[in-house]
Amino acid sequence: MYSVKEAFYTLQGEGGQAGRASVFCRFTGCNLWSGRERDRATAACTFCDTDFLGTDGQNGGRFDKAEALAAHLTALWPDHDGVATPYVVFTGGEPLLQLDEALIVAMHRQGFEVAVETNGTIMPPPGIDWLCVSPKGASELAVTGGDEIKLVYPQQDAAPERFQRLDFRHFFLQPMDSAPLGKRENHMSATVAYCLAHPQWRLSLQTHKIAGFD
Ligand code: SF4
């Protein structure tokens, strides 16, 4: 059984695949926060800005079988000229609480490349085409390699130095957005300064917020 909060067609906003047309599948639930405000202060991840509770979002629902969810997601990919490879991004919440090999195989059968955005605390199943790890606070990483690491900056207990020797192809630093406005601007300039001083890291912006799409 898969629980999906919402699913929609958009452009990937962040990281190395920014700008790419994508079907997003947001799974319900996370292992680093309950999703309830009363638990936020004591959670392992305290700055989440995503609603991942329930199945009541756009195209959300419960799906018994991998094939059923794969068909549901495939229907969201527009029937263009068939030139572009369809692309699905599994996110959450924490997608690796639910994503399994059967669903990856089912998406591949539908012709999709499969991307995952995880907090890195759970080992992924095989077959993922683009693995993005976004570490949160002091949480211990189980996944120490992949296509990109996308670190929200600054974070207490998650300084970039902790991750700089891990086995990723791309290292992205993204200014923390979930803060009062004055602080947000500070985060942007601190992130730019860090990338200038540490060229291993590239700036990642949330282009969906800049361009005004979800
Ligand atoms: S790990 Fe991701 S989904 Fe979970 S609480 Fe943190 S930001 Fe939200």
User: Which domain range does residue 94 map to?
Assistant: 2-211
Positive or negative torsion for Cα 97, 103, 105, 111: negative
Instruction: Tell me, in angstroms, the distance from the centre of ligand 1 to residue 46's CA.
Output: 8
Q: Is 48 helix (H, G, I), strand (E, B) or coil?
A: coil
Mean of the per-residue pLDDT values of the chain:
96
Pick the residue whose CA is nearest to atom 8 on ligand 1: 48
* Per-residue pLDDT at 178: 77
User: Could you tell me the two tokens for 77?
Assistant: 């990919």
Round to whole Å and give the CA distance between 132 and 146.
7
How many structural domains compose the chain?
1
pTM reported for the whole predicted model: 0.96
Assess whether the C-beta atom of 46 lies below 6 angstroms from ligand 1.
no
Residues of the chain falling short of pLDDT 70 = 179-182
Spacing, Cα 6 to ligand 1 middle (Å)? 16
Any atom of ligand 1 within 6 Å of the Cβ of 50? yes
pLDDT of residue 185: 85
Element (H, E) at 101: helix 101-109
Contacts of 120-128 with CB under 8 Å at 24 or more apart are 121/31, 121/32, 121/94, 122/31, 122/94, 122/96, 122/97, 123/96, 124/96, 124/99, 125/96, 125/99, 125/100, 125/101, 126/101, 127/101, 128/104
* Nearest CA owner, ligand 1 atom 3: 93
97 lines ligand 1 (CB under 6 A): no
Q: Residue 77 maps to which CATH number?
A: 3.20.20.70
Catalytic residue numbers read 24, 30, 45, 48-50, 117, 208
Tell me which amino acid residue 16 is. G
Separation between Cα atoms, residue 145 and residue 164, nearest integer Å: 11
In angstroms, what is the span from residue 22 Cα to ligand 1's centroid? 20
Task: Give me the pLDDT at residue 172, please.
Answer: 98
